[in-house]
Structure formats: C-alpha cells, structure tokens
Structure 1
Amino acid sequence: MAKPGHVSDSQFESEVLKAEVPVLVDFWAPWCGPCLMVEPIVEELADEYGDKVKFVRMNTDDNVN
C-alpha cells in the first residue's frame, strides 16, 4: 500500500496550499481511535488515486498551529 507523506505546520503552505494537484490531508493524532481506523482507507485511496491526488497526513499533536 502507498503511504501518504507527512506534512508539518512549516510545510503546510508549500505542500498543501500551493500544490499543483488536489490534496487530501488526513489530520490525525496517535490517541484518536477513529483516526487510526481511517488510516488504511486513506492508504488504499492513495494507491488508487495517487497519480491524480496528493495524500498527506498531519499529526495534530505535533502541529498545533
């Protein structure tokens, strides 16, 4: 399975807002059960649509801004 890239606060503008393709951002936290349940679905979507959409994840505990 394709793994979405990780993005931080400092990268958000360049990697997401200024991306040349649509971006799906998976905001998650290690303690969030529903977030962890969604992870394999996002990976599956990245496998299927990774050539058309950029998939990234942002840990909201590490990036609070």
Structure 2
Amino acid sequence: MSIREVHDSNYREAIPAEGLALLDFGAAWCPPCRALLPILEEIDRELGDKVAILKIDTDDAPEAASAYGVLSLPTVVVFRDGQPVDKFVGLRSKAAYLASLAR
C-alpha cells in the first residue's frame, strides 16, 4: 500500500472499518512533520497492506484537525477497526508507532 493524502471531504471514508490505519496530521511548513515522512514510508514498506497510512495537511483540512483535537504538529492518530486507539502528539520514534500498531 502507499501513503494516501486525504482531505476534509474524504478522510472519514479513507479510514478502514476493519484493520489498522494511521492518520498523520501535519503541514508542509512543519520541520518535524517533514522528518516524520521517512518514518511513515519505512512503516509502509514494512507493513504494506496490513496498515492504511493516511496523510492530511491541517492547513487544508481544518475540520478534520478539529474533529481529532489536533493542537500541535505532527499529530498521529492510530485506528483499529475504524476507532481511534492511540494519539501521538509530536514526532516519535518508528518503534513507538510500530508498538501501537502491534497492540
């Protein structure tokens, strides 16, 4: 699978009802957000179809950011079967995201 960009109009449908998803809230001007991208790409290569990785630019998607209480960037929300199960505020290690996905 590849990292998919989503927007206010389609982020809800993009989160799978079954399985795992990781929704990355960021912005082009945010250095930690840019540092997160290679981590997400590695996770995508390693887990492939086991997790949907979604990326949303908060400048273009204020509704989605508000819906998940995003106040700092990056914020990553992990979903299991369509429900949020973890929320990471700020840049974390690859291991932290993988541990959440493995629970």
TM-score by length of 1: 0.86
Structure possessing the higher relative contact order (Cα contacts under 8 Å, 6 or more residues apart): 1
Larger Rg: 2
Unaligned runs of 5+ in 1: none
Unaligned runs of 5+ in 2: 64-103
Partner of 2:30 in structure 1? 32
**Greater per-residue strand proportion:** 2
TM-score by length of 2: 0.56
Partner of 2:3 in structure 1? 4
Aligned counterpart in structure 2 of residue 43 of structure 1, from 36, 41, 44: 41
Letter in 2 for 1:14: E
Number of matched pairs: 62
**Runs of 4+ that moved beyond 2 A:** none
User: Within 5 A, what are the aligned runs for 1:10-21?
Assistant: 10-16=9-15, 19=16, 20-21=18-19
